[in-house]
Amino acid sequence: MGRRDLGVAVAGAFALVGLQAGPSAADPVVTDTIGVGDGPFSVAVSPDGTRAYIANVGSDTVSVIDTTTNPPAVQGTPIGVGDGPFGVAVSPDGTRAYIANVGSDTVSVIDTTTNPPAVQGTPIAVGDGANGVAVSPDGTRAYVTNYLSNTVSVLALQPSPPTGVSASAGDAQANVSWSVPSFTGGQPITSYTATASPGGKTCTTSGAPTCTIEGLTNGTAYTVTVTATNSIGTSAASTPSNPVTPAAPTPQPDPSVTKKQTLKTKLPKRIKVSGLTVITPANTRTNAGQLVRTLVRGGPVKPTAAGQVRYFTVVRGPKGKTSVRTNGYPNLRLKVTQKAPATTGYTAFTRTATYTKGTRG
């Protein structure tokens, strides 16, 4: 079966041309003919395909067809617009229909969200002989052809969406930031609204590109979109932010409560005159779990002959193990210091001992 675009017959009625096989496989056939206003001249279908808007140039009206019924049928009574409605276009979000009125050189705006749809505000004056209208894919502008003045009028419909939306999680909240719209129609942005999904919780600012959405559920992943509003209108929603998952903060110990760190491991009573003595065993830790580090300083008790300089050696092993290797010189004084850093709830640990001629003082 062949396929062709939907066709429209203009003869006081709106004709739906179906994509069915006719006498030959390539020919579509008319499936329904719907009576509308006087002189239907142009048609536009909503983005979701549920409504068709017909500009009736002879009766200065717009007919709305509900395409979800079988067969499709006119919805309500025709909507009165300007003089000589010639062109029609629907916004990308389907919430507005724009009618170019060739006789009154205006554009009428129909709010399609009301029941029934109704004209919004007063017609917008454009150029001479407004006979066609089209809306940009992002919904920010409408372009109106004026055939008698050889011009195109550009209408600012709404700001473009904010960009670069970013979110970070807090406790039952999301902190949101974004960049300002690239198009505002020459009017300042007066407010932004950030909306979390799922749930629809929002926050609003009067111009600052950041706000915090509260009342979220910890453990649930959210994305956030932002809209911008000014005197022209409200933008489409931005691209969603990165996903974030709010969470309660990890409880922290009270920093005002501090205890002393202690160490059960005792220092040796003596250090060998010659040989290896373990001062701090491997993985020696305080009662706060802090690893102990050991410093050893010292030298001869009395001056010695020139050249006698290597009296002892500090030997370090894994996990803080510290030993002293002495070389047979008995007249040594060594100072041993064990330390551990402060940690939450505990002060720093320091313990010092002095060994004279191998004996701890």
Q: Say yes or no: 94 and 59 in one domain.
A: yes
Residue 265 lies in a domain: no
The residue among 92, 98, 93 whose CA lies nearest residue 79 is 98
Predicted structure pTM score: 0.60
| 7/15 Cα distance (integer angstroms) | 8
For 267, counting Cβ atoms within 10 Å of its Cβ (0-12 exposed, 13-18 middle, 19+ buried), the class is: middle
Tens-digit pLDDT string for the chain (361 aa):
333 333 333 333 444 443 344 455 567 888 888 999 999 999 999 999 999 999 999 999 999 999 999 999 999 999 999 999 999 999 999 999 999 999 999 999 999 999 999 999 999 999 999 999 999 999 999 999 999 999 999 999 999 999 999 999 999 999 999 999 999 999 999 999 999 999 999 999 998 999 999 999 999 999 999 999 999 999 999 999 999 999 998 877 666 668 899 999 999 999 998 999 999 999 999 999 999 999 999 877 665 554 445 678 899 999 999 999 988 888 888 999 999 999 988 899 999 999 998 899 8
Which among 156, 185, 209 is the end of a domain? 156
Residue 257 and residue 347 in contact, taking contact as beta carbons nearer than 8 Å: no
Residue 28 and residue 15 in contact, taking contact as beta carbons nearer than 8 Å: no
Q: How far does Cα 54 stand from its chain's mean position?
A: 39
| 36/307 Cα distance (integer angstroms) | 117
| 212/202 Cα distance (integer angstroms) | 8
Q: Say yes or no: 119 and 146 in one domain.
A: yes
Which among 211, 229, 247 is the end of a domain? 229
Q: Say yes or no: 180 and 143 in one domain.
A: no
In this structure, the number of other CB atoms found within 10 A of the CB of residue 164 comes to 13
Residue 280 lies in a domain: yes
Token representation of residue 347: 């002060």
| 52/330 Cα distance (integer angstroms) | 107
Q: Say yes or no: 77 and 198 in one domain.
A: no
DSSP one-letter string for 301-353:
SS---TT----EEEEE-GGG-EEEEEES---EEEEEEEEE--BTTB--EEEEE
Nearest-5° Cα angle at 214, 213 to 218: 110
Residue 351 lies in a domain: yes
Structural domains in the chain (count): 3
Residue 5 lies in a domain: no
**Domain span at 196:** 163-229
| 93/222 Cα distance (integer angstroms) | 23
At 214, which CATH number?
2.60.40.10
Residue 251 lies in a domain: no
Q: Say yes or no: 52 and 168 in one domain.
A: no
Which amino acid would we find at residue 334? L
Q: Say yes or no: 208 and 314 in one domain.
A: no
Token representation of residue 1: 């079966």
Q: Say yes or no: 60 and 152 in one domain.
A: yes
